[in-house]
Amino acid sequence: MSRDNTVFVGSKPVMNYVAAIMSSLNSSGEAVVKARGRAISFAVDAVEITRKRFLKDIILDEIEIDTEEVESFDGKMKNVSTIAIVLSRPDY
Amino acid sequence: MSRDNTVFVGSKPVMNYVAAIMSSLNSSGEAVVKARGRAISFAVDAVEITRKRFLKDIILDEIEIDTEEVESFDGKMKNVSTIAIVLSRPDY
């Protein structure tokens, strides 16, 4: 799946990510919503708002969780949880 | 699935939930890890620590996300995202 379909969720207002998800679904028929650490909750919020309020027929294809090793500000490696939620449009 | 297998993740230290998940997997072969709102990130952390550090052969059967309506402190109804992660032991 191309990187163009991927929406990385961080600490911006959740409606920014909802708009990005809808844009990706409209242009390519798919969206992969990714987040790490505390932003995982916001990624789930963005997907839920998209599919419950705006695009009620989209398909929740897959949810994956995993662990990545990242370098923290003091140079130590630490583990952080990740999520990837794959959405698609049924009419695409 | 009986309520006995369910671990509700909140704001306690994450290792409390890891211990509860392992206890449920050991006693019944299954665990359903649930959380709402900001605790969703901690639920993913607890599952990832359990399966990457302690019980490396457990099966991630299913991840569901949804929205619930809850009454906030001022009496208004508001939507909150939820997650349910179903784990099982292969040898059970």
Nearest CB to B44 within list A47, A52, A83: A83
Tokens of A88: 């698609």
Q: Do B67 and A81 touch (CB under 8 A)?
A: no
Q: Look up the domain containing A58 and give its range.
A: 3-88
Give pLDDT tens digits for B3-16.
Answer: 579 999 999 999 99
Taking residue A52's Cβ as centre, other Cβ atoms within 10 Å add up to: 13
Helices (H), B14-77: 14-28, 40-49
- Specify whether the CB–CB gap between A47 and A85 falls below 8 A: yes
Residues B45/B48/B50/B56 CA torsion (nearest 10 deg): -170
Instruction: State the nearest Cα–Cα gap between B2 and chain A, in angstroms.
Output: 24
- Can you give the pLDDT at residue A25? 96
- pLDDT tens for chain A, residues 1 to 92: 455 799 999 999 999 999 999 999 999 999 999 999 999 999 999 999 999 999 999 999 999 999 999 998 899 999 999 999 999 999 87
Instruction: State the nearest Cα–Cα gap between A78 and chain B, in angstroms.
Output: 12
Q: Do A65 and B60 touch (CB under 8 A)?
A: yes
For an interface test with B, give the residue of A11, A41, A53, A61 to mutate (most B CBs within 10 A).
A41
At B65, which CATH number?
Answer: 3.30.110.20
Instruction: State the nearest Cα–Cα gap between A38 and chain B, in angstroms.
Output: 5
ipTM: 0.91
Percent of chain B topping pLDDT 90: 91
- Can you give the pLDDT at residue A70? 92
- Can you give the pLDDT at residue A3? 55
Residue B89 has pLDDT above 80, yes or no: yes
**How many folded domains does chain A comprise?**
1
C-alpha span between B82 and B49 (Å, rounded)? 20
Whole-prediction pTM: 0.93
